[in-house]
Amino acid sequence: MQLYKDQTLRVHNSLTGKKEIFQPINEGHIGMYVCGPTVYSNVHLGNCRTFMSFDMIFRYFKHLGFKVRYVRNITDAGHLENDADDGEDKIAKKAKLEQIEPMEVVQRYTVDFHNTLQQFNLLPPSIEPTATGHIIEQIEIIKEILEKGYAYEANGSVYFDVIKFNKDHEYGKLSGRKLEDMIANTRDLTAQDEKRNPQDFALWKKAEPQHIMRWPSPWGDGFPGWHLECTAMSTKYLGETFDIHGGGMDLKFPHHECEIAQAEASTGHSPVKYWLHANMLTLNGKKMSKSTGNNIYPYEIISGDNNILSKAYSPAVVRFFMMQAHYTSILDLSDDALQASEKGYNRLMEAMGSLDALKTGSTSEFDVAVWKQKCYDAMNDDFNTPILIAHLFDAVKHINLIKEGKESITETDKTELENTIKAFVYDVLGIENQSLVKDDSNALNGVMELLIQLRNEARANKDFATSDKIRDELTALGIQLKDGKDGTTFSLN
């Protein structure tokens, strides 16, 4: 089924600042690249939102029948602490701090990243390449840029010559910056600087003797610059020009600007047709920051183990909450907002759960065909999930009215409604029905509380045969009781 033939999709292209009709380079096929995480710490909730936004976009393209190649990289080398090409490599720094191999840091946080995204029901990308797996490709691109005259070598490092590039191309077009302004607003270079201009950026950095992550190159031992890996990996798997490049808004400058410059300098043409940027997540109205404590990790929301929220929220509720905002808007996370989302989520799941048993009649008072196209129109308008969700709740209203016998629906319309709502909720928004899982754990907690209470009563009555029986039978079922000074707790094996 190729639904895309009947739908006109518009996307907000950051490069032009306009909403444009989306037309892939090769009909029916989409190449999409999204900048992945630097795996040196647990994945941030803000990053989760970005990846969730692009997961929704990936899902919608697939739903429309496109063949999508979705590439999302893992940055496992080359990302320095600050944008001015100095500071330590983030992964090497963490490795030193914990006295482990850099690749142990990479492994640990890649696993965390995958686990977290899986909990939020993100689909894996088609290809997930790593920077360290593409050193040869990066060196090749540096050679090309040097050959074209847009880079220079200095003391074993190679820098991109932004001023030279800007003479023939336009540096700053994605972020709307002018090179002259950037030059006017930066300090002059010091005598020790290897760069010809402060705006130049590293393609290859010479590794100092203490730097552990290093590779041989024509310019000596070193490591690639962070921006270069995305150019190398996107070009390798999607070609010199591909459909969509996505990432967080914060990556627009300098990261994505540098990607454009590298690609144009090496191939001579623009690498990306549509640039899409996802906006950030704030917490209680303020920017999230580890240093101020205004921060929460995904696992803390799911476990409820935090000082910010009143209770735990299921990953499906968190995902539903994220989908209630447009991906280009700033979204504020708070306890009130999550509680409201949980209520909405439960209402939606309940209505969907009652669809099967819904009685049908000879007429429909709910125009399912019109409603269905409205859902598509919302998604076709730059993936407007909040509007889509508003339409989904319109359907919920009608489902409830039909349930109460106040409206009627035909069998055909009911089937159409059921298929459409399931497709949008489960396949496109990626929202799972987790109520069964939640109910199970609630029921288990209730039963365990009761058994612990019965055992305590038996012990108080010196009926040790009964109290031991409860404990031993539970042990046989794989449930361990632990008596502590604050009472008895249980754990599952």
Tell me the closest approach of the beta carbon of residue 70 to Zn ion, in angstroms: 14
- 375 annotated as ligand-binding: no
Nearer to Zn ion, 253 or 426 (CB): 253
Nearer to Zn ion, 78 or 344 (CB): 78
CB atoms under 10 Å from CB of 492, counted, come to 9
Stretch that binds Zn ion, among 103-111, 225-233, 335-343, 479-487 (CB under 5 A): 225-233
Stretch that binds Zn ion, among 140-148, 229-237, 335-343, 378-386 (CB under 5 A): 229-237
Q: Does 261 bind Zn ion (CB under 5 A)?
A: no
Tell me the closest approach of the beta carbon of residue 244 to Zn ion, in angstroms: 13
Nearer to Zn ion, 43 or 417 (CB): 43
Tell me the closest approach of the beta carbon of residue 157 to Zn ion, in angstroms: 20
In angstroms, the Cα distances linking 92 to 79, 149, 231 are 10, 32, 22
- 365 annotated as ligand-binding: no
Stretch that binds Zn ion, among 226-234, 368-376, 424-432, 467-475 (CB under 5 A): 226-234
Q: Are 40 and 260 in contact (CB under 8 A)?
A: no
Q: How far apart are CA 194 and CA 192, in angstroms?
A: 6
Stretch that binds Zn ion, among 104-112, 223-231, 388-396, 447-455 (CB under 5 A): 223-231
Two tokens, residue 119: 């909990």
Tell me the closest approach of the beta carbon of residue 139 to Zn ion, in angstroms: 18
Nearer to Zn ion, 231 or 467 (CB): 231
Number of residues engaging Zn ion in binding (CB under 5 A)? 2
Spatial CB neighbours of 118, under 8 Å, sequence gap ≥ 6: none
Nearer to Zn ion, 276 or 338 (CB): 276
Q: Can you tell me whether residue 398 is helix, strand or coil?
A: helix
Nearer to Zn ion, 230 or 409 (CB): 230
Positions in 394-413 near Zn ion (CB under 5 A): none
Tell me the closest approach of the beta carbon of residue 255 to Zn ion, in angstroms: 5
Nearer to Zn ion, 226 or 383 (CB): 226
Nearer to Zn ion, 35 or 452 (CB): 35
- 35 annotated as ligand-binding: yes
Nearest Cα neighbor of 56 from 87, 75, 34 is 34
Q: How far apart are CA 288 and CA 44, in angstroms?
A: 9
CB atoms under 10 Å from CB of 431, counted, come to 25
Nearer to Zn ion, 79 or 94 (CB): 79
In angstroms, the Cα distances linking 327 to 37, 39, 65, 286, 291 are 18, 23, 22, 18, 26
- CA atoms in the 13 A half-sphere facing the CB of 373: 6
Positions in 1-60 near Zn ion (CB under 5 A): 35
Q: How far apart are CA 12 and CA 51, in angstroms?
A: 17
The alpha carbons of the chain give a radius of gyration, in whole angstroms, of 27
Tell me the closest approach of the beta carbon of residue 243 to Zn ion, in angstroms: 16
Stretch that binds Zn ion, among 153-161, 224-232, 356-364, 477-485 (CB under 5 A): 224-232
Out of 48, 91, 230, 421, which residue is the one contacting Zn ion (CB under 5 A)? 230
Q: Provide φ and ψ at 155, rounded to 5°.
A: 55, 45
Positions in 433-472 near Zn ion (CB under 5 A): none
Q: Can you tell me whether residue 42 is helix, strand or coil?
A: coil
Tell me the closest approach of the beta carbon of residue 471 to Zn ion, in angstroms: 55
> Which residue intervals of 361-463 are DSSP H helices?
368-380, 385-403, 411-422, 435-460
Tell me the closest approach of the beta carbon of residue 230 to Zn ion, in angstroms: 3
**298-323 exposure pattern, b = at least 16 Cβ within 10 A, e = fewer:** bbbbbeeeeeebeeebbbbbbbbbbb
Tell me the closest approach of the beta carbon of residue 378 to Zn ion, in angstroms: 29
Sheet holding 272-278, edge to edge: 67-72, 29-34, 242-248, 272-278
Residues making up the annotated binding site are: 35, 230, 255, 259, 290
Which residues are near Zn ion by CB under 5 A?
Answer: 35, 230
Which residues make up each annotated binding site for Zn(2+)?
35, 230, 255, 259
Q: Extract the annotated binding site for ATP.
A: 290
